[in-house]
Structure 1
Amino acid sequence: MAIRGIKLKFFKHCIYLVIYSLFRCCQLVFWWLTGVQSHLKSCRNGENYESSAQLLKVWFHSSGRIINFSLRHHFMSTHVNFVHPNYALQKHITLMTVTDKEAIFSIQGECDDVLNVRKWPFLNVGHPTTAKHLLIMPISSMIKLGEELGDPKAKVIWIYHTARCGSTAMSQVFNSLPDVVSISEPNCLFSLDMAFKEKYFEKRKVHGLLLMNISKSIKMPSGCW
């Protein structure tokens, strides 16, 4: 039964990818005609930092994917405008995925709390489900923003490898404590770890990325940066 479910998910995702490929081709042509693509290219080259973050409206996301990481092509989205990278510092915006080329933020509705561990015990499930918009910026912009934020002033505690041993309950207990934010399975850290193992980043760049990951994914309370 489990194998059948996996096959069905894979089949649904394959259909989605075919539709997305056609949509993406049309989108790239439109972006080329309207100048969006040229601006994106300049941002990837380290230019136009103040407008290097792209805001996208999400119309649909693939729920049939098997891998955990939420990437750009898992969302059917359209361009809204370009904004400053510090747009990502708003309360209802959380870091979703980091690749070797870009950082992807999930923007939830103001009433959606993706860090509510009782409703969303795993962040990698809550992110794609609640995303109303995406904010995507080049990795160079994220590194610069992370360095501008500096080290978080709040204490950060890492709990590693507690799968299948009550980690969900433990996360909920920690989250019930005052002035504590507990999250489970933040994919932005997993994807950064994979990119580091593939040697996409130098140690200096990883430090800046970790600052941004901690500040945004762990969502420090106001005044803790």
Structure 2
Amino acid sequence: MAIRPLDTTKLLLAHATAKGIFIFLRLILCILQTLSWKIFGIQNAIEKNKDPKSKPVAQALKVLTWSKFCFLLPPSLRDFIYVHDEYIDPEYVIQNDHVLLFFLDPHQDVAVFGEGMQGQRLWHSDCDSDITLSLFKNSRRLIVMPMDEFHKVCARLPDPDKPLVIMGNTARCGSTLLTQIFECTNKVVSYSEPLPLNDLAVLYHDKGPCSQVNQLTRSLIRIYSRPLKSMPEPEGYLIKPVGPSLVCAEPIRKLYPNTTVFYLYRNLENVTKSMYKLSYVLPTTRLVYILCRLSGNLVESVFANNGYPTEGANRTVDNDYCCGIFIAAISANVYKKMRADGNDVHGLLYDDLVQRKESGVRAILNASRLPGSLVQSAMTAFTRDSQRNSIVSREAFSKIKPLEYTEDDKLKSNQLLVELGFPTIDEPCRLEGTLEF
């Protein structure tokens, strides 16, 4: 199948043009801001805290506007135009429910929080089904503090005393529905793809078990399980990392042994059809489709840099159907590797869940050590679009033409799957360790 040159040009050019205009405006405003900060004696949080006589502070920045080329790319302070608002006590971020950890910036050695409106639950799907998108859309202020101060704040928080669940997934496999099964209980705080877990996964991958990894693990789990006024007595906590970052579950389980780990996957043909539509929304997904046609070495490098196992990844494909199957299979290798390494992780097949909803929900909650009394409220998740407030909502996807493919495309995909150790498209795919219900 063709690379879709017209669609690709329109998608990439539109996003690149918008980002280019934003960068130009930000450059001008940054020059003016640097001058004004010097005139009025304003310092960033790191410089402010260097003064030994100064009480530790965080810096609140009022967001004027923002722009992101693609939401799959890591967020940065460079994505925002902002002005200094005030210096605040770092404790502010754990005392207010409408403040949520946004991202970590290892280059500036800071932790950045997003602050929404009073009463707003930025982690809830009423804001967006993805936490990063929610924080981009709803953050009125950014609160920036040095990483050492972030760890000090988290050290004053307790460890979670309720069940902790980590849920990995392949892309476009129904993981948002599963997240909202937990959320709809109104008793489980559910975080969908918080990006700081990517930093933990990368650090663990690079350094293995060490004090630095333990410190970051403890701080992240404590900040995500912190006491909330909006949910004073939760029954548990669900954290869904981005697909390849599931490796973060290993250091988490070392510190919190009772953590339950799931991996959700789906019929690979449905995954590739959905991923094709995603490539009309997210530029980096489209670039991956193009890259998979050009160079096996580059493909392998991209997968390696994103934390995926790379066995069998050095190859090219010549059609969009096969490309989606290829990406889904490599993603599932994260789960297979974790199982091979002896990690206790339960597989979940999305197709099982939608066929046997109530028994599936009951089995998942039971494996998570959550009360069976939550089953009926959890079933509400099946009655609504789990991505209703997102750029990938059911309504948005319905406007995108479906993937077209030939029998030859399917034949090539089957050959690829066999080489990667998976059953063919028309055979049932049930990975070892999948939960039965």
- Quickly say closer, same or farther: Cα 1:42–1:9, change in 2 above 3 A: same
Task: Report deviation, 1:164.
Answer: 1.9
Query: Does residue 1:93 correspond to 2:99, yes or no?
Result: yes
Verify the 8 A CA contact 1:70 1:97 in the aligned structure 2: yes
Counterparts of 1:44-59 in structure 2, within 5 Å, are 45=50, 47=52, 50-59=55-64
Letter in 2 for 1:138: P
Counterparts of 1:111-126 in structure 2, within 5 Å, are 111-126=119-134
Partner of 2:76: 71
Task: Report deviation, 1:2.
Answer: 4.6
Verify the 8 A CA contact 1:99 1:192 in the aligned structure 2: no
Query: Does residue 1:216 correspond to 2:223, yes or no?
Result: yes
- Quickly say closer, same or farther: Cα 1:122–1:26, change in 2 above 3 A: same
Partner of 1:204: 211
TM-score when normalising by structure 2: 0.46
Query: Does residue 1:153 correspond to 2:158, yes or no?
Result: no
Task: Report deviation, 1:70.
Answer: 2.2
Query: Does residue 1:25 correspond to 2:31, yes or no?
Result: yes
Provide the aligned length of Structure 1 versus Structure 2: 222
Partner of 1:168: 176
- Quickly say closer, same or farther: Cα 1:56–1:127, change in 2 above 3 A: same
Greater shift after overlay, 170-179 or 190-199?
A: 190-199
Residue-by-residue CA offset, 1:51-98 (whole Å, 9 max, x unaligned): 420011111111444543221111111111111111101110000001
Verify the 8 A CA contact 1:196 1:206 in the aligned structure 2: yes
Greater shift after overlay, 135-144 or 204-213?
A: 204-213
Verify the 8 A CA contact 2:132 2:195 in the aligned structure 1: yes
Partner of 1:8: 14
Greater shift after overlay, 112-121 or 171-180?
A: 112-121
Letter in 1 for 2:211: R
Counterparts of 1:123-134 in structure 2, within 5 Å, are 123-134=131-142
- Quickly say closer, same or farther: Cα 1:55–1:177, change in 2 above 3 A: same
Identity of aligned residues (%): 21
Verify the 8 A CA contact 2:104 2:112 in the aligned structure 1: yes
Task: Report deviation, 1:36.
Answer: 1.7
Verify the 8 A CA contact 1:96 1:127 in the aligned structure 2: yes
Greater shift after overlay, 151-160 or 85-94?
A: 151-160
Inter-partner Cα distance in structure 1 for 2:169 and 2:51: 37
Inter-partner Cα distance in structure 1 for 2:215 and 2:157: 9
Q: Secondary structure at the match of 1:98?
A: strand
Inter-partner Cα distance in structure 2 for 1:49 and 1:192: 30
- Quickly say closer, same or farther: Cα 1:158–1:3, change in 2 above 3 A: farther
Bigger radius of gyration: 2
Inter-partner Cα distance in structure 2 for 1:116 and 1:215: 18
Letter in 1 for 2:32: C
Verify the 8 A CA contact 2:157 2:223 in the aligned structure 1: no
Letter in 1 for 2:105: T
Counterparts of 1:135-150 in structure 2, within 5 Å, are 135-150=143-158
Inter-partner Cα distance in structure 2 for 1:198 and 1:46: 33
Inter-partner Cα distance in structure 1 for 2:148 and 2:89: 13
Residue-by-residue CA offset, 1:12-37 (whole Å, 9 max, x unaligned): 11221121122112212221222222
- Quickly say closer, same or farther: Cα 1:62–1:38, change in 2 above 3 A: closer
Verify the 8 A CA contact 2:159 2:225 in the aligned structure 1: no
Q: Secondary structure at the match of 1:171?
A: helix
Inter-partner Cα distance in structure 1 for 2:203 and 2:14: 29
Task: Report deviation, 1:99.
Answer: 1.9
Which of the pair has the greater relative contact order for Cα pairs under 8 Å at 6+ separation?
1
Inter-partner Cα distance in structure 2 for 1:216 and 1:108: 17
Letter in 1 for 2:86: N
Inter-partner Cα distance in structure 1 for 2:158 and 2:14: 45
TM-score when normalising by structure 1: 0.85
Greater shift after overlay, 129-138 or 33-42?
A: 33-42
Residue-by-residue CA offset, 1:115-159 (whole Å, 9 max, x unaligned): 222541111111110011110001111011112214222322111
Verify the 8 A CA contact 2:48 2:54 in the aligned structure 1: no
Greater shift after overlay, 166-175 or 20-29?
A: 20-29
Verify the 8 A CA contact 2:45 2:59 in the aligned structure 1: no
Task: Report deviation, 1:197.
Answer: 4.9
Give the superposed CA RMSD.
Answer: 2.7
- Quickly say closer, same or farther: Cα 1:206–1:22, change in 2 above 3 A: farther
Inter-partner Cα distance in structure 1 for 2:199 and 2:105: 6
- Quickly say closer, same or farther: Cα 1:83–1:14, change in 2 above 3 A: same
- Quickly say closer, same or farther: Cα 1:33–1:39, change in 2 above 3 A: farther
Structure 2 stretches of 5 or more lacking a match? 1-6, 235-437
